[in-house]
Each structure stands twice: as structure tokens, then as C-alpha cells.
Amino acid sequence: MNWGNKLLLTFVVFGAGMTFLVYRSVKTNYELVDKEYYKSELAYQQVIDGSNRANALSETTLTQDSNGIILQLPAEMKNKKVSGTIHFYCAYDEKLDKRVELTPSADGQQVFAPGVLQAGTYTVKINWQSEGTGYYTEKNLIIP
């Protein structure tokens, strides 16, 4: 093979590679973290304050078993009126996201049925209020 054919082959491979990369970049789905990103960013100080208050409490746990997903609020929340939301956030597919009202039992536990979430990796954002004070925590959850 002479040098002219090698040069032509190099240009063809380079062109095919560039064409493939352009095709892949056009087909990539770029989803925003939040539709109202800038609006929610302005209220982010409330998240920071809620996280600090939640860190001062005992651990919030999120476990899986055959009954489903079990959320256990800190022991300090037992026998208190608690309200709030739970956001199951899937970073790579907005269609898998779920928002659920927080309605814990008297012992601060809430159980989600096994089929509530599809398989995936979630960041669980728990935002709750008790006695006029707001709390916020995040947990990671992997559904096989």
C-alpha cells in the first residue's frame, strides 16, 4: 500500500468517526434537573437550613425488603404531626421520577409497596415539616 492510499484511508476513517460522533451528539437527550431551575435555586437557602436541622437529629433511614421500601424518620419525629413530600428523583430518566406525600405512622415510618418504583438509581429527597420547623434530607436508593 503506498502513502497515497494510507492518507486516503486515514481521511475516510477520520470522516466516518466524526460523522458517528455528530450523529450520537444529536441523538443525546439532555434533561434539566428541574424545569424551574432558577426559581428553585433562589429558594435553596431553605434546603440548606433544613439539611442542617435534619443533620442535628438522629438518622433518617431508607431500606428495602420484601414488603417494599421503608422510610424511617428520626426518632425525634415519633408521635409528632409530620407532613411533607418525598421526591424519588432519577437523574437519567425524568419519566421515572415520582413525588409522594409524606404520611408517616405514629412511629415515624412510611412503607411504599414493592411496585411503586421501576428499577433504577434514585436520589430520594425528603422534605418535611413538624411543629412549624422544616427539615430536608437526601438518600440514595437503588432498585434492582
CATH number of the domain within which 63 lies: 2.60.40.10
The number of helix segments (H) and strand segments (E) in the chain equals 3, 7
Q: Do 24 and 53 share a structural domain?
A: no
CB atoms within 10 A of CB 141: 18
Identify whether residues 110 and 62 lie together within a single domain: yes
Number of domains the chain is built from: 2
97/125 same-domain check: yes
**Eight-state DSSP code of residue 27:** H
Residues 131 and 105 in one domain: yes
89-107 per-position pLDDT tens digit: 988 888 889 999 999 988 8
Amino acid 48 reads I
- 65 plus 3 within the same structural domain: no
Residue 69 bridge partners (DSSP): 64, 112
Q: Verify that 14 and 47 share a domain, yes or no.
A: no
Residues 127 and 64 in one domain: yes
pTM for the predicted model, two decimal places: 0.74
Judge if 18 and 41 occupy the same domain: no
Q: Between vectors from CA 50 to CA 46 and to CA 53, what angle results, nearest 5°?
A: 145
Q: Facing residues of 72 across strands? A: 61, 109
Indicate if the pLDDT at residue 114 is higher than 70: yes
Mean pLDDT of 81-91: 91
| Residue 24 structural domain | 1-30
Q: Looking at residue 32, what is its pLDDT?
A: 62
Regarding whether 81 and 19 lie in a shared domain, the answer is no
Q: What is the mean pLDDT of residues 35-60?
A: 85
Do residues 17 and 42 both lie within one domain? Answer: no
What is the C-alpha separation between 75 and 98, in angstroms, rounded?
26
